């Protein structure tokens, strides 16, 4: 029986040696890199990471190797396991602007998968059924349906009026309180939602006039005013009287006036308050007249018609309030 003698290909041996050498070099580089990251460049001491302050510090000499590192942990702090479990969360934060506070699932209306590809006919039918049942589960009773319609109306009006997110949250909370206190029977959902938006804007210091609110609402101005008085009285809302100065920045911005004109308009209104001119007058009319007078006093071009369009009041009102503001300054000896 003949013996077989196995011989190795010289090319394969050379390739294996190169692979081993490359592996050894890579391990050496990793060890060197690891040594560099764990050693202080100043004294060669041990380096530790301070997650609380976002710094990498030498444990021996105190040298700060790196600073302002990115904290990838949560934005909250917990001091025991129970508090950590309470604060831990996943997903978007809850919000009062949605009837379920954003805790439900939304199924996209576009019939596409995660890769953007269109679904087949059978899958489209399935997703349509899921959407229908999901919508039914989200609004289980009449109270939730009421809340869903009202919060959608608040969001629509706030967007049309350019109100910030905090006003929408406040309006939603006011409506929830009115719904819980059973203040809605005999009143329309749109009327109460509009009143809540009007109250929230005034409470946040970004007031809108009743005329502006009525333009974007689905109810009449008289109903908005009546419902607002009822809601404010029953819920004991702390709504301060509208300050004419709060309207000045918006009017001046829409007219393209300078900061000097804004400051001059505020000064005119402060002088009017000292003389008691503002008593019994519409804050919107006073603010519009102050902006118009300030533009003339600072040599900026604007017209009564332009101010009237922005403030949504008549030119006659602007002229009357304009003369009253200037008279107040003259009586104070400032003009």
3-state DSSP of 122-190 = HHHHHHHHHHHHHHHHHCCCHHHHHHHHHHHHHHHHHHHHCCCHHHHHHHHHHHHHHHHCCCCCCCCHH
State yes or no: 61 annotated in a binding site.
yes
- How far CA 295 is from CA of 115, 265, 278, 284, 291, in Å, comes to 56, 8, 20, 17, 6
- How far CA 185 is from CA of 150, 193, 225, 268, 286, in Å, comes to 14, 14, 17, 45, 37
Topology at the third CATH level for domain 242-329: Cyclin A; domain 1 (1.10.472)
Domain assignments of the chain as residue spans, ordered by start: 86-103+119-239, 242-329
- How far CA 298 is from CA of 3, 252, 257, 273, 334, in Å, comes to 112, 13, 10, 21, 15
pLDDT at 278: 79
pLDDT at 327: 86
pLDDT at 1: 45
pLDDT at 157: 95
pTM of the model: 0.63
pLDDT at 35: 41
pLDDT at 333: 63
State yes or no: 196 annotated in a binding site.
no
Under-50 pLDDT residues of the chain: 1-8, 29-36
- DSSP, res 244: G
Give the Cα separation of 224 and 24 in Å (integer).
Answer: 80
Topology at the third CATH level for domain 86-103+119-239: Cyclin A; domain 1 (1.10.472)
Same CATH topology for 86-103+119-239 and 242-329: the answer is yes
pLDDT at 17: 58
pLDDT at 8: 47
Total residue count of the chain as it appears in this document: 335
Distance, C-alpha 80 to centroid of its chain: 31
């Amino acid at each position: 029986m003949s013996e077989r003698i196995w011989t190795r290909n010289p090319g394969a041996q050379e390739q294996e040696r190169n692979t081993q050498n490359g592996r050894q070099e890579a391990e050496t580089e990793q060890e060197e890199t690891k040594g560099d990251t764990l050693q202080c460049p100043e004294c060669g001491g041990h380096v530790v990471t301070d997650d609380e302050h976002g710094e990498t510090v030498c444990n021996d000499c105190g040298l700060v190797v790196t600073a302002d590192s990115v904290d990838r942990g949560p934005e909250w702090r917990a001091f025991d396991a129970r508090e950590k479990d309470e604060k831990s969360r996943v997903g978007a934060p809850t919000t009062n602007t949605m009837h379920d506070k954003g805790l439900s699932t939304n199924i996209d209306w576009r019939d596409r998968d995660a890769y953007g590809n269109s679904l087949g006919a059978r899958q489209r039918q399935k997703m349509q059924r899921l959407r229908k049942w999901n919508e039914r589960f989200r609004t289980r009773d009449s109270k939730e349906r009421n809340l869903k319609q009202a919060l959608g109306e608040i969001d629509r009006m706030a967007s049309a009026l350019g109100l910030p997110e905090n006003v929408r949250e406040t309006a939603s909370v006011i409506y929830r309180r009115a719904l819980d206190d059973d203040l809605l029977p005999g009143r329309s959902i749109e009327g109460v939602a509009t009143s809540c938006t009007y109250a929230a804007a005034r409470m946040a210091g970004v007031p809108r006039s009743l005329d502006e609110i009525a333009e974007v609402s689905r109810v009449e101005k008289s109903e908005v005013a009546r419902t607002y008085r009822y809601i404010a009285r029953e819920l004991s809302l702390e709504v301060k009287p509208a300050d004419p100065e709060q309207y000045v920045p918006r009017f001046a911005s829409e007219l393209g006036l300078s900061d000097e004109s804004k400051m001059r308009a505020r000064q005119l209104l402060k002088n009017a308050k000292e003389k008691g001119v503002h008593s019994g007058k519409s804050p919107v009319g006073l603010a519009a007249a102050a902006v118009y007078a300030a533009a003339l006093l600072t040599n900026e071009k604007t017209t009564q018609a332009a101010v009237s369009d922005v403030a949504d009041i008549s030119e006659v009102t602007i002229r009357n309030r304009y003369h009253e503001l200037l008279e107040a300054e003259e009586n104070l000896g400032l003009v």
